[in-house]
Amino acid sequence: MSQLSLAVELAGLGLRNPTMNAAGVLGMSSYQLKRLYESGAGAVVTKSLGRQPRNGHPNPTIVFVEGGVINSMGLPNPSAEYFRDEIKRLKAENIPVVASFFAASIEDFTYLASILTDAGADALEINCSCPNVGREKCMLEADRESLEKVTKAVREASSLPVFVKLTPNVANIVEGAKIAEENGADGITAVNTLKALAVDIDLRKPILSNIIGGLSGPALKPVALRCVWELFENIEIPIIGCGGVSYWRDAVEFLLCGASAIQIGTALMDHGVELFKEVNEGIRRYLEENGFRGVKDIVGLAHET
């Protein structure tokens, strides 16, 4: 008997399975991304790339807390221009690449979208939701007007599928998603990290140099699931679930709530890059044991009454 296929179609992209790494996790070079693909990811997502190289915030940039980590990397990246060759290297090996990027102006968003498209990326992911840089560095989420302008500009600059990655740090995540959808986004990635802080009682100081960072890992999962659920009820475009996926069961939960694909970040710390295989095997077993024919069959299934 042949194995059940985990292949999915995501906004026109054909992927061998529904898993990817989360942006910013092991996406600093084509070498790292290739390793993730070889470990079983269906597609790979680059570090969020900007117009200029950035060193990010000084250390400490990560702190371990119960249920996950808080990071304030501050979007270190070698610049989109520099990364073009890395993308080309991945494409030379037929690895599906989602290019994540951020900018401070509409002009830069347009420029970056076009050079990443030319470099051969398969899809674009707009990071307009990083909690780690001030407004001047990155157009922030909650701002409806910039979300509209950014999505529109990127849509016009590129023919690739465009995913908009949203933050959970808003009262109503549906609002932003609708704006993105209306302005031509092909999918929504939900979610980025939750704003958080850690303080040391001996030195009586916040631990992160940036004071505030973003919480990811298991503690984020229920929030991310709630976001995916609400999005599925309110938008038509596919959703990529992200936040705390650590075991195959978590991935299935996201699919049931309405995600068409999932991204994995923090869990790679404890489970290693082998996690992609384990998650995919788990999804496959779940589908087989429950008589489903493919991933698509369970997307949003928990919504059916």
Partner 1 sequence: MRREVHRVVKVEEVKQEAKDVFTLYFKDNFCSSASPGQFIMVWIPGVDEIPMSLSTINQKGVSSITVRSVGEATRILCETKVGEKIGVRGPFGNGFTLKGSKPVLVGGGTGVPALYPLASKMLISGIKPSFILGARNAEQLLFKDRLQEILDDLIISTDDGSLGFKGYASECLGRLILEKKCDSIYTCGPEQMIVSIFKEAERRNIFVQASLERYVKCAVGLCGSCGIGPFRVCKDGPVFDSISLRAVMNELGFKKMDPSGRLIPVEK
Point out which residues bind ligand FMN (CB under 6 A). Answer: 22-25, 47-48, 69, 71, 73, 75, 100, 127, 130, 165, 192-193, 216-217, 220, 242-245, 264-267
- Considering only residues 4, 7, 11, 62, which one is a binding residue for partner 1 as defined by CB under 8 A? 62
Among ligand FMN, partner 1, none, the one that 78 touches (CB under a kind-dependent 5 to 8 A) is partner 1
Give the binding range for partner 1 (CB under 8 A) out of 49-57, 141-149, 175-183, 297-305: 49-57
Kindly state whether residue 27 participates in binding partner 1, applying the rule CB under 8 A.
yes
Please give the Cα distance from 175 to 34 (Å, whole number).
Answer: 35
Q: Which is nearer to ligand FMN, 74 or 96 (CB)?
A: 74
Among ligand FMN, partner 1, none, the one that 105 touches (CB under a kind-dependent 5 to 8 A) is none
List own/partner pairs for 147-153 with CB under 8 A and 24 or more apart: 147/176, 147/179, 147/180, 147/183, 148/179, 148/182, 148/183, 149/106, 150/103, 150/106, 150/109, 150/126, 151/126, 151/179, 151/180, 151/183, 151/184, 151/185, 152/183, 152/184, 153/106, 153/109, 153/110, 153/113
Min. distance of Cβ 210 from ligand FMN in angstroms?
13
Kindly state whether residue 155 participates in binding partner 1, applying the rule CB under 8 A.
no
Mask: binding to partner 1, 248-277, rule CB under 8 A, as x and -?
-----------------xx-xx--x-----
Torsion sign, CA atoms 95, 72, 194, 203: positive
Q: What share of the chain is helix, strand, coil (3-state, %, to 5)?
A: 35, 20, 40
Task: Mark residue 291 as left, alpha or beta (left: phi above 0; alpha: psi -120 to 50; beta: remaining).
Answer: left
Among ligand FMN, partner 1, none, the one that 64 touches (CB under a kind-dependent 5 to 8 A) is partner 1
Min. distance of Cβ 39 from partner 1 in angstroms?
10
Min. distance of Cβ 142 from ligand FMN in angstroms?
16
Kindly state whether residue 282 participates in binding partner 1, applying the rule CB under 8 A.
no
Residues with catalytic function: 130
Q: Which is nearer to ligand FMN, 19 or 117 (CB)?
A: 19
Please give the Cα distance from 147 to 141 (Å, whole number).
Answer: 7
Please give the Cα distance from 18 to 276 (Å, whole number).
Answer: 10
Among ligand FMN, partner 1, none, the one that 217 touches (CB under a kind-dependent 5 to 8 A) is ligand FMN
Min. distance of Cβ 130 from ligand FMN in angstroms?
6
CA dihedral 189, 18, 9, 75 (to 10 degrees): 30
Please give the Cα distance from 63 to 92 (Å, whole number).
Answer: 37
Write the DSSP string, 130-183.
-TTS-TTTS--TT-HHHHHHHHHHHHHH--S-EEEEE-S-SS-HHHHHHHHHHT
Mask: binding to partner 1, 181-220, rule CB under 8 A, as x and -?
-----------------x-x-xx-x-x-x-----------
Among partner 1, ligand FMN, none, the one that 269 touches (CB under a kind-dependent 5 to 8 A) is partner 1
Min. distance of Cβ 209 from partner 1 in angstroms?
8
Among partner 1, ligand FMN, none, the one that 59 touches (CB under a kind-dependent 5 to 8 A) is partner 1
- Considering only residues 4, 32, 91, 137, which one is a binding residue for partner 1 as defined by CB under 8 A? 32
Please give the Cα distance from 175 to 141 (Å, whole number).
Answer: 11
